[in-house]
């Protein structure tokens, strides 16, 4: 039988393919791995992290996990909305209760909202004394410029549209706390901004705040985004300074501003989630740039190597951009298996290069470690402002 090449393949391509196969069989330089796909990028997931809580047993598991932040590789903070009943036959940790969150599950236990884990995923502290403060803890951060390492929690979304579930959560008819809290690392409440259950758009109220970001002088920004469409600036003591933005879809407006970050030049990057874009502003609120066509930017971070990483909740992926908006890399897969994501909501990196993620619908936190020999350029660097550990 006479052999012919595929109609869709040129003679040159056939020759090249044949040469590659010969080199591969001979152990030549052209040898490549066959099959597979890069599910977790340059990382590998740590199984069974975190461990079930002491009071979980087989009846309870983690609920909607809003955010995660390591003070160090040995002290990792996690906020969630509450525990939910575990499904029969389902693991109580990985993969949690995918598709069910503490915003939606009848019988939710409104406890264990602020947790501290060690590197093995064992709970070492539980700030139960503050459970009553939170409705839906949404974001969690530490300022890189604060030597005391105070912890900031933004709490700003309704627990559910169901009045019965809101009632069991102890919330007001508005259904959200609309507040920003600052805690010492040992759990003392240092500062509260906003009024519980009272939304507003003035200097002392928020309407569904989502995130916080910090300037070197101690000033900070609050993304006020579920109900309002603005970014608000405060001084280090929490005094109102200024704001910019209105709700809408025009350039410079916001439709659910969901995250905020500040680069080395002081530019303000915003995750305008409802409009599927990143918008960039100067410190006076002048619009500098728009990066369109980002499906659902949930959380953004500027890294020390001069890039912006996005956790996208619709694509269930990480996306890396240069600071002019050029896409550099992307990885991540939808699913409930360890290492996959279902609405990737928040992420952070510790001082050893480990990556932590929080999923709201997947209902879990996860820890990833760099693969042996991973290209450092493909890893998420430490966030801008934080010092790299000494060698």
Cis peptide before 165 (omega within 30 of 0): no
HEC secondary structure over 94-121: CCCCCCCCCCCCCCCECCCCEEEECCCC
- pLDDT value at position 26? 43
Indicate the domain borders of the chain.
47-196+286-378
- pLDDT value at position 161? 45
Residue 198 per-residue DSSP state: B
- pLDDT value at position 90? 53
Residues 78 and 365: beta-carbon distance below 8 Å: yes
346 has which bridge partners? 358
- pLDDT value at position 88? 64
CB atoms within 10 A of CB 36: 6
Residue corresponding to tokens 């990483």: 309
Q: Residues 6 or more apart from 200 whose CB is under 8 A from it?
A: 178, 206, 207
- pLDDT value at position 107? 79
- pLDDT value at position 80? 94
- pLDDT value at position 104? 61
Task: Using alpha carbons, list the distances in angstroms from residue 267 to 83, 222, 232.
Answer: 38, 15, 14
Burial class (CB within 10 angstroms; exposed 0-12, middle 13-18, buried 19+) of 102: buried
Residue 376 has phi, psi (to 5 degrees) of -55, -30
Instruction: Give one word for 197, left, alpha or beta, with left for phi > 0 and alpha for psi -120 to 50.
Output: left
What pLDDT tens digit does each residue of the chain (391 aa) get? 333 333 334 433 433 434 443 334 444 444 556 876 778 999 999 999 999 999 998 889 898 999 999 999 999 999 999 998 887 655 444 444 445 555 567 778 889 999 999 999 999 999 999 999 998 899 999 999 999 999 999 998 654 444 443 444 443 334 578 999 999 999 999 999 999 989 999 999 999 999 999 999 999 999 998 999 999 999 999 999 999 999 999 999 999 999 999 999 999 999 999 999 999 999 999 999 999 999 999 999 999 999 999 999 999 999 999 999 999 999 999 998 999 999 999 999 999 999 999 999 888 999 999 999 999 999 999 999 997 654 4
- pLDDT value at position 156? 84
């Amino acid at each position: 039988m006479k052999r012919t090449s595929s109609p869709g393949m040129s003679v040159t391509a056939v020759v090249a393919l044949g040469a590659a196969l010969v080199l591969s069989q001979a152990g030549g330089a052209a040898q490549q791995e066959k099959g597979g796909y890069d599910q977790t990028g340059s990382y590998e997931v740590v199984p069974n992290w975190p461990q079930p809580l002491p009071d979980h047993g087989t009846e309870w598991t983690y609920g909607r996990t809003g955010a995660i932040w390591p003070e160090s590789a040995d002290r990792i903070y996690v906020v969630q909305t509450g525990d939910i009943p575990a499904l029969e036959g389902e693991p109580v940790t990985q993969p949690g209760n995918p598709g069910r969150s503490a915003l939606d599950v009848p019988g939710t236990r409104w406890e264990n909202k602020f947790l501290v884990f060690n590197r093995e995923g064992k709970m070492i502290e539980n700030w139960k004394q503050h459970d009553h403060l939170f409705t839906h803890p949404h974001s969690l951060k530490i300022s890189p410029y604060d030597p005391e390492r105070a912890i900031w929690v933004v709490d700003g979304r309704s627990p559910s549209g169901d009045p019965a579930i809101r009632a069991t959560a102890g919330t007001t008819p508005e259904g959200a706390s609309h507040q920003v809290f600052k805690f010492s690392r040992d759990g003392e409440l240092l500062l509260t901004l906003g009024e519980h259950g009272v939304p507003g758009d003035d200097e002392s109220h928020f309407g569904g705040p989502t995130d916080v970001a910090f300037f070197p002088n101690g000033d900070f920004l609050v993304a006020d985004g579920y109900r309002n469409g603005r970014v608000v600036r405060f001084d280090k003591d929490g005094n109102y300074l200024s704001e910019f933005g209105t709700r809408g879809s025009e350039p410079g407006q916001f439709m659910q501003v969901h995250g905020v970050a500040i680069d080395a030049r002081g530019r303000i990057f915003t995750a305008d989630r409802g409009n599927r874009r990143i918008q960039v502003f100067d410190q006076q609120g002048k619009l500098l740039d728009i990066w369109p066509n980002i499906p659902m930017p949930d959380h953004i971070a500027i890294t020390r190597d001069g890039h912006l990483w996005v956790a996208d909740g619709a694509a269930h992926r990480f996306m890396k951009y240069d600071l002019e908006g050029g896409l550099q890399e992307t990885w991540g897969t939808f699913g409930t298996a360890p290492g996959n994501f279902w609405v990737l909501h928040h992420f952070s990196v510790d001082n050893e290069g480990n990556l932590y993620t929080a999923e709201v619908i997947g209902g879990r936190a996860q820890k990833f470690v760099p693969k042996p020999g991973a290209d450092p350029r493909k890893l998420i660097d430490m966030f801008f402002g934080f010092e790299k550990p000494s060698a």
